[in-house]
Amino acid sequence: MDLMNLRVVALGHSSAGKSSYLAAMFTHLAADRKGFRLVTPDRRTAEELTTAGGRLRKGVYPPPSSRRTELRAGLRYGRGEVLGFHWTDYRGGALTSSAADDPETAQLLERLTDADAVVVFADTHRLATDPDSHDEVRRTVVLLHRAVTEQPTPLPIVLAYTKADLVTDPADWARARKAMAPLEELVAGGGRVRGTTVAVSCGPGPRGVAVPVLWCLSTLLGHRAEELQRRLDGAASMVKSSRKEANGVDSLVSWFKGVESAAQRLRFWEGRVRELKEEAAGLRRPARKLARLLEREQGGTAPPTGAPARAVNR
Ligand SMILES: Nc1nc2c(ncn2[C@@H]2O[C@H](COP(=O)(O)OP(=O)(O)OP(=O)(O)O)[C@@H](O)[C@H]2O)c(=O)[nH]1
Ligand SMILES: [Mg+2]
């Protein structure tokens, strides 16, 4: 995993709200959020997204495009860039056609197996009102299962219920979440997945827009910190064993045989421990702050449980 080149794949059917989300999310995070800020090297993309984001806040949505949306962005903390990621969204058709018929589907399958994180966009309103949308859920679950089992580390997956502002009736939420039950199980199941669910609204009074991307980035930063700790433990044990073996006789014998001596190994591993400690120390503060920002952004964004109002027995 390369923290500066993370690959985030967005999945969602046509008109699920992927492009609106990207504009709302970018606009929200391009402003300073507790010391973090999203930046993109591509000035034109930044302008387009913030213009679209400004229109969204006035209730003007982008026209449905069915075009793939991409974004390369970096997350800054203070003046340093902590993470860099590449966001690619896949339109609906790629989810339902077969890899043999559609090159975009074949590419999606490939991208999913080497994705560092996945965000699934589900149109809450459509799920509650259109039974046809339920088949697409099954297809997405199959694709994700495949991606998850081929991943070396647990995969961050966010299930984003979009257009949450349109769904106010708890019974509609109950229907939508029932349709998504297989995905919710996958996301909540732990094991090979680090998942969460969030209700997102992109229009005036945006809600939950930072959660999908921050969840992915914060989880991946945590993975990297764990990986560094494992490497550090390994290097420290090499230092210990080389130190035990390093003595005058070993140096002489090694020199004579023309092999690396324990003293040389010791110097190498001591250097490695220093490097790893430095890297781990550099990540610690941003990782803690990012987790705190995520927690703040996540407040009140859990999708309603949709439990129908219970009749009161007297
Ligand atoms: N009320 C409401 N409508 C939304 C929201 N997000 C998207 N929409 C509506 O859904 C339509 C499609 O949204 P897009 O963001 O273009 O969806 P998409 O997933 O990018 O669609 P394709 O690119 O065609 O696959 C918009 O034109 C809006 O009408 C939201 O948060 N609230
Ligand atoms: Mg789009």
Query: Could you read off the pLDDT of 52-103 as tens digits, one per residue?
Result: 999 999 999 988 775 668 899 999 998 899 999 999 988 765 666 665 566 7
**Backbone φ and ψ of 134, nearest 5°:** -70, -30
Q: What is the DSSP letter of 247?
A: S
Residue 275 CB partners (closer than 8 Å, separation 6+): none
Dist. CA 13–CA 148, nearest whole Å? 20
Dist. CA 46–CA 30, nearest whole Å? 9
Question: What SS3 class is residue 131?
Answer: coil
Q: Which residue, among 200, 232, 196, has the nearest Cα to 216 in the 3D structure? A: 196
Dist. CA 253–CA 87, nearest whole Å? 55
Report the pLDDT value the prediction gives residue 94, as an integer from 0 to 100: 61
Tokens of 99: 């890899």
Q: What is this structure's pTM?
A: 0.90
Report the pLDDT value the prediction gives residue 193, as an integer from 0 to 100: 92
For the CA of 199, the nearest ligand: 1
Residue keyed to tokens 């969602």: 12
Report the pLDDT value the prediction gives residue 312, as an integer from 0 to 100: 41
Question: Rounded to the nearest whole angstrom, what is the distance from the C-alpha of residue 283 to the centroid of ligand 1?
Answer: 36
Ligand 1 pocket test, pick from 48, 49, 61, 90 with the greatest ligand atom count within 8 Å of Cβ, gives 61
Q: Which residue, by CA, sits nearest to atom 26 of ligand 1?
A: 61
Report the pLDDT value the prediction gives residue 140, as an integer from 0 to 100: 81
Q: Which residue, by CA, sits nearest to atom 25 of ligand 1?
A: 14
Question: Rounded to the nearest whole angstrom, what is the distance from the C-alpha of residue 14 to the centroid of ligand 1?
Answer: 8
Rounded to 10 deg, the angle between the 170-179 and 181-188 helix axes is 70
Residues framing ligand 1 (Cβ under 6 A): 12, 14-20, 61-62, 64-66, 91-92, 162-163, 165-166, 201-203
Q: What atom in ligand 1 is closest to the CA of residue 201?
A: 31
State which amino acid sits at residue 259.
V
Q: Which residue, by CA, sits nearest to atom 7 of ligand 1?
A: 17
Query: For residue 255, with 0-12 CB atoms within 10 Å meaning exposed, 13-18 middle and 19 or more buried, which class applies?
Result: exposed
Report the pLDDT value the prediction gives residue 107, as an integer from 0 to 100: 78
Flag residues of the chain having pLDDT under 70.
Answer: 66-68, 92-102, 306-314
Dist. CA 157–CA 31, nearest whole Å? 25
Evaluate the CA torsion angle 79, 296, 39, 55 in order and state its sign: negative
Report the pLDDT value the prediction gives residue 98, as an integer from 0 to 100: 63
Question: Rounded to the nearest whole angstrom, what is the distance from the C-alpha of residue 63 to the centroid of ligand 1?
Answer: 8
Which contiguous run of DSSP H or E holds residue 118?
A: strand 117-123
Query: For residue 67, with 0-12 CB atoms within 10 Å meaning exposed, 13-18 middle and 19 or more buried, which class applies?
Result: exposed
